Amino acid sequence: MTPGKTITGLRKAPQQARSRARAEVIFAAVRRILDAEGVEALTMRRLSTEAGVSTGSLYQFFEDKSAVLTAVTVHYMDTFSAAIAELVERASEAPWPELVGSVFDGYVELYRQHPGYLAIRTGRHLTPELLLADTDNNNRVADGVRRILVARENLTDGPALVTACRAGVCAADALLQLAFRTAPEGDPAMLAEAKRMVGLYLTDIVADPSYRAG
């Protein structure tokens, strides 16, 4: 986590430097456990040992394991959203297929670098809170794609385009999850098909006069 960055998803936001440092250590321990062993290995006692903090310190920040998973998921999503924001800022500098392709590649890289994130999203332990966070994440990605298309193609920025971009992102995400359930690094053939699908889908939207401004 970047120094000075706000830590989201916690029961109690750390105000002092010492508390922030302890929260950073806990987050790092959560990610190590998830990346190496998956969600089932994560317990509050195991996290206490891995992070080198008391269980009392853990419960200052998290109500239970579900809260831990929600908080670390929010952190992953915030990190990816920041990357998307940078791509949107480049919307006037590159063709939209290149920018959208970068968003897709960023998702693939996030899964590869953080298998714990993938384990959370594809596991059977998705709580209502995590499902809401998952929906919010896809909506953020779709919002970035929408803004790229509006900036580069002068499309009408309205409910229809919002819905279309959300549909494309959700479909691509489903194929991504399938690709990574098939192979740890993502099945190359499925990844290629997912990227091709979203490219063709968005190309169709760009060519559709009903999405065209003016």
Q: What is the predicted pLDDT for the residue at 189?
A: 96
Q: What is the predicted pLDDT for the residue at 125?
A: 60
Q: How does residue 114 score in pLDDT terms, banded at 50, 70 and 90?
A: confident
Q: What is the predicted pLDDT for the residue at 2?
A: 38
Q: Does residue 5 carry a pLDDT above 60?
A: no
CA distance 164 to 188: 26
Q: Are 148 and 91 in contact (CB under 8 A)?
A: yes
Q: Does residue 68 carry a pLDDT above 80?
A: yes
Q: How does residue 1 score in pLDDT terms, banded at 50, 70 and 90?
A: very low
Q: What is the predicted pLDDT for the residue at 38?
A: 85
* Token output for 170: 């959700």
Higher pLDDT, 76 or 3: 76
| pLDDT tens digit sequence for 118-177 | 778 776 666 777 778 778 888 988 998 998 899 889 899 999 999 999 999 999 989 998
Q: Which of 51, 117, 104, 39 is nearest to 78 (CA)?
A: 117
* Token output for 155: 């499309």
- What is the sign of the dihedral through the CA atoms of 57, 53, 120 and 75? positive
Q: What is the predicted pLDDT for the residue at 18?
A: 77
| pLDDT tens digit sequence for 179-207 | 988 898 999 999 999 999 999 999 999 99
Q: What is the predicted pLDDT for the residue at 14?
A: 58
CA distance 204 to 21: 48
| pLDDT tens digit sequence for 9-38 | 565 665 667 777 888 888 889 989 988 888
Q: How does residue 110 score in pLDDT terms, banded at 50, 70 and 90?
A: confident
| pLDDT tens digit sequence for 72-92 | 888 777 777 777 777 777 766
Tell me the fold of 73-211.
Tetracycline Repressor; domain 2 (1.10.357)
